[in-house]
Amino acid sequence: MNAIEVHGLRKTYGANTAVAGVDLVVREGEVFALLGPNGAGKTTTTEILEGYRERDGGEVRVLGQDPATAGRHWRAELGIVLQTATDSAELSVRETVRQFAGYYPDPRGVDEVIELCGLTAKAGARISSLSGGQRRRVDVALGIIGRPRLLFLDEPTTGFDPEARRQFWDLVRALAREGTTILLTTHYLDEAEALADRLAVIAAGRIVAEGTPFTVGGRDTAPATVTWTDVSGAHEVRTVDPVGAVTNLARRGPVSGLQVRQPSLEDIYLDLIGAKA
């Protein structure tokens, strides 16, 4: 079955519409990224799926159940990494992870999770002594300790240095290979491109595009930009046939600085959210 099914999801706060009819399907075992600017409805949508927030309309099924009424067994199958950091200031990393392990019927090993999250050297340190990035790793550890079927990652690598981000990506890929379904929200488009099987872009409370990182928003068919310099100066042309453009240039004579640039995910994303701004 699908891990997540959403039809016509709506949520308002007074006169402000945060989610305006979202339809979404996340398949079991895939990494799905939800992208959008601040205020687009990402967090509200995710919190409804997690059972933290009530919806005003629409149908939602997560692991086959309605999050608004699902019970303790359902919650034990979820892993959640929220935007805000965990603050068990006086407990050590190991104590915090061990405490959360006790909430689940079949948790991973405490030291295994600490190692997976790159915290072995800090296992005995108090949470209050950790850096922001290290605290974020603790949040990830708490999210995966229960062997979740479905893992929500809300801006998980905020505060990570480049090396830590790449280590985290390896962890996400390993979890996906184990069959964990992952819903990722992130502002790092390279992260979405590296990890997501599919993604959706949300703007003004609506899904404006959905697909793979390569196809979303027509990226795979969008015009490429060809730039070059010849005796008459610098030139740039946008074309859906960059191979033909380069072939024609070769026939015309020598050129320098020839570059062919396909639209990046960032280019497509900015176009999509700009159209809804």
What's the CA angle centered on 105, arms 100 and 110, to 5 degrees? 45
Mind listing the pLDDT tens digit for each residue in 125-153?
999 898 888 888 899 899 999 999 999 99
Cβ atoms of residues 199 and 213 within 8 Å:
yes
The mean pLDDT of 33-39, rounded to a whole number, is 93
| pLDDT number for residue 249 | 87
- Predicted confidence band of residue 275 (pLDDT cuts 50, 70, 90): low
Give 150-209 pLDDT, tens digit per residue: 999 998 888 788 888 888 899 899 999 999 999 999 999 999 999 999 999 999 999 999
pLDDT at residue number 156: 87
The pLDDT, as a whole number, for residue 133 is 82
- CA–CA dist 176, 178 (Å, integer): 5
pLDDT of residue 155: 87
Mean residue pLDDT of the chain comes to 91
- Where does the pLDDT of residue 86 fall: very low under 50, low under 70, confident under 90, or very high at 90 and above? low
Q: How far is CA 237 from CA 43, 221, 251, 258, in A?
A: 39, 16, 17, 12
* Each residue's pLDDT tens digit, 213-241: 999 999 988 999 999 998 888 999 999 88
What value does the mean pLDDT take over residues 95-113?
94
What is the rounded CA–CA span in Å between residue 19 and residue 42? 9
Sheet strand arrangement including 31-35: 78-81, 150-154, 181-185, 31-35, 198-203, 206-211
25 vs 156, which has greater pLDDT?
25
pLDDT score of 100 more than 70:
yes
What was the pLDDT predicted at 276? Answer: 55
Confidence at residue 87, expressed as pLDDT on a 0 to 100 scale? 63
1-77+148-155+178-221+265-277 fold: Rossmann fold (3.40.50)
- How far apart CA 23 and CA 237 sit, in angstroms, is 37
